Amino acid sequence: MNKISTVKNIEQLTSQIAQLVRLLESFHETLLAESLALKSNNTDQITEVLPVKQQRSNDLTALTQKIDSELLSEQLSLSKLFSEELSTGLPDTLQKNIHQAIKLSELCHDLNQSNGISIQILGNINQHTIDLISGKGQSDVKLYGSSGEAQPSKSSKKTLGKA
């Protein structure tokens, strides 16, 4: 099991992990704002949130790469540092920050996935609406009749109307 060798390294690492926690909290707030904008269909707010989200994502990437590169001198990586067996031998403050970073990472991941699914669903709805308005029909659409059996659509009308 690898140990971080010097007090200076531990103090520096503690500071960097605390900074990581702050960035993750900020990123989580941005994801919450994105989620609220998606739920309220507020395109202006979505447009405002996207560059902030991208910048915070870039900041997180840069910091994790910096921490990883500094841990290489100890034959460690961030993923190893976040493992249970290694983190239990670290100072309490560092352990607390590591656990908080893990928790926030999971929350951010889940919320980002949820936002992505919402965006995909909204995109599908928009595409379907555009297809309906433009007259792109689906020939393989089957509807269920009163008997409960699937029947092909009998409608030959391809558009909703013409202007």
Q: Does residue 87 or residue 39 have the better pLDDT?
A: 39
Structure-token pair, residue 17: 């992990």
Q: Vertex 66, ends 64 and 70: CA angle to 5°?
A: 115
CA-closest candidate to residue 4, choices 22, 21, 19, 17: 17
Whole-angstrom Cα distance, residue 112 to residue 104? 12
Structure-token pair, residue 97: 């920050």
What confidence category does residue 2 fall into, taking pLDDT thresholds of 50, 70 and 90?
Answer: very low
For 87-143, write each residue's pLDDT tens digit: 677 889 999 999 999 999 999 999 999 999 988 888 888 888 888 887 776 656 666
Q: Which CATH number fits domain 7-136: 1.10.10, 1.20.58, 1.10.1060, 2.60.40?
A: 1.20.58
Q: Write down the domain spans for the chain.
A: 7-136
